[in-house]
Chain A
Amino acid sequence: MEESLSQEARAQQASAGPQLPGPFAVGRYARKLQEEMRKRARVQLIGEVTGVSRSKVQAYFELRDGEGAVPCAIWLTDLEKAGLGDGALRDGAEVVICGGPDYYPGGGQASPSFSFRATHVRLAGEGDLIARLEALRKQLRAEGLFELQKQLARPLLPKTIGVVTAERGAARRDLCAGLERRGWGGSVVWAFAPVQDRHAAPVIGRALQDLAARPEVEAIVVTRGGGSLADLWAFCDETLCRTVAMLRVPVVSAVGHERDSTLIDDVAAVACSTPTHAAEAAVPLDCLAARGSLERCAVALRRAGEGAVEARSRHLGALARGPARALQRQRSDLNQKIREIRAASERGLADRTSFQRRIGTVVLERARRRALGADMEQQREGLKRAAVALRAHEPERTLERGYALVEDEGGEPLTSAAEAGAAERISLRFSDGRVRAKPERDEA
């Protein structure tokens, strides 16, 4: 589009040619051009030196950055005054030059040329680079380029990662060690690139694009060891950083030993301070720990499954035994009651027997007593009758009828005439009293 427009403008100018001033003599025009150029303001430029060459009196070089370049020339006398030392003005050096545009009109033999006439040159300091970096940072942030990578999903367990680094750098070894420490043994696609100087940024950018184009690559690490900001300047390259921001694959940057020192740290999905940390960011899952965790999950699941069945089996078993247990309980209760009833009945029988025995005893006693009372009456009657009979035979009854009883002095009855005749004294007992007598003996 631009090209077609400029062609159109040129065509218009060509068609308007006869109306323009001139023609002028070219030599005069060249000198006028030189004058105009030298009127331009003197400024400072910063950039990387390339294509250094020298004549007897001047040094020539280009000063360039990612956006463009300017041919420069400096008198050797001015260069010596700068005091840079031998070889300081070399390809790749970041320098600040002071001066302004100039035009050499050429001559009969010499070719004309444009150049930035430097009157002073110095190596770019940290401050110069930081100022450039901040300007770029502000610009890219304003364009929203810092957020694009951070919105990408980073896989927890990538199987393939890409790495852009120097082939022989320590960062490569540290990254591998970091990955192995996590127990990760996937595929690493190496894209080796220079990591310092003017040529590094384009190569790194191409490597990143090539890696991102491979479908199996799930994350990319860009890493290099430490250095000054000038050493790391390739990672502040605007084109490179714009490339990173637009990649579909998350990029982990580990450039230098400090985070956020380079512009690539700002646009990357994650910025790390060391290759080891980059390994952890590229493979967020600690595979060794994950294996242990998975084992525990498997055990928990097995226990949950078996436990659920076993607990319910036990519950079912308990429920199944319920009726039998209830019956057994009822049977036990019943037996207990039977035992209690039997004991109670035995106790009741004994009590009743004892009671009846006591009653019987009382009745019998009463009967005995009754029976014993009747016999006494009979005996009493008999006795009375015997007493009457006895009384009828008592000597007193005989005495009452007029008979007398002969007794000795001792009261013993004398029942014969011989006993009476032999006694010294006798006693005659009548019913109404005694009479003492002395028997008389016949002398015959």
Chain B
Amino acid sequence: MDASEPNQSATKPDSYEAAVERLEEIIDRLDSGQAGLRETLDLCKEGKELVNYCAAELDEVGEGLKELNLDDLAARLDSSGAGAETP
């Protein structure tokens, strides 16, 4: 996407890397000083949403390792499946 065309729809990015890539485009465009006032404000709004998205993604992996055991998960799945079959 061309950085000079602000993402008006402000859709949620597909991934963290997509968000970061778009964010870098926006910063480059703003740094160029070629964006008009309306475009600047739109880019800032979109960039802020991307920053919030990225921060939320980082928060999701920021609370310490959660260790799970594949065997436990499989056993849980089996027991829930067996429970579902029980009339």
B31 to chain A, nearest CB (A): 8
Measured between alpha carbons, how far is A151 from B68 in the docked complex, in Å? 28
CB interface residues, A 177-203, toward B, < 8 Å: 179-180, 183-192
Pair A156/B20 contact, Cβ less than 8 Å: yes
How many Å lie between the Cα of A202 and that of B23 in the bound state? Answer: 45
Is B37 a contact partner of A308 (Cβ separation < 8 A)?
yes
C-alpha gap A184/B71 in the complex (Å): 23
Chain B contact surface mostly:
helix
B16, A285: Cβ atoms closer than 8 Å: yes
* Chain B residues whose CB sits within 8 angstroms of the CB of A294 once the complex forms: 51, 54-55, 58
Tell yes or no: B85 within 8 A of A by CB. Answer: no
When distances are taken between beta carbons in the complex, the residues of chain B under 8 Å from A207 are 70
How many angstroms between the C-alpha atoms of A62 and B40 in the bound complex? 75
Contact B51 A297 (CB under 8 A): yes
Instruction: Select A188's contact among B47, B54, B66, beta carbons within 8 Å.
Output: B66
Which B47-84 residues have C-beta < 8 A from chain A? Answer: 47-48, 51, 54-55, 57-58, 60-71, 73-74
Q: Are A191 and B16 in contact (CB under 8 A)?
A: no
Q: Are B70 and A190 in contact (CB under 8 A)?
A: yes
CB distance from B10 to the nearest CB of A (A): 14
A-B contact count (CB 8 A): 102
Contacts of B67 in A (CB 8 A): 187-188, 190
User: In chain A between 26 and 81, which residues have their CB closer than 8 angstroms to a CB of chain B?
Assistant: none
Q: Does A157 lie within 8 Å of B66, measured CB to CB?
A: no
* Bound complex: CA A179 to CA B67 (Å): 12
Evaluate contact between A156 and B40: CB separation under 8 angstroms.
no
Q: Is A291 an interface residue (CB 8 A)?
A: yes
Q: In whole angstroms, what is the CA distance A214 to B77 when docked?
A: 11
User: In the complex the two chains form, is B30's CB within 8 Å of A304's CB?
Assistant: yes
Determine if A155 is an interface residue (Cβ-Cβ < 8 Å): yes
Identify 16 new A-B residue pairs, CB closer than 8 A, beyond the known A176-B65, A304-B43, A309-B37.
A155-B17, A156-B17, A157-B15, A180-B65, A185-B62, A187-B67, A187-B68, A189-B70, A190-B67, A214-B70, A214-B73, A287-B61, A294-B55, A294-B58, A300-B30, A301-B51
- Top 4 nearest A-B pairs (CB, nearest first) are A305-B44, A186-B61, A191-B70, A156-B17
User: Could you show 5 A-B contacts with beta carbons less than 8 Å apart?
Assistant: A162-B70, A210-B74, A300-B30, A302-B44, A304-B44
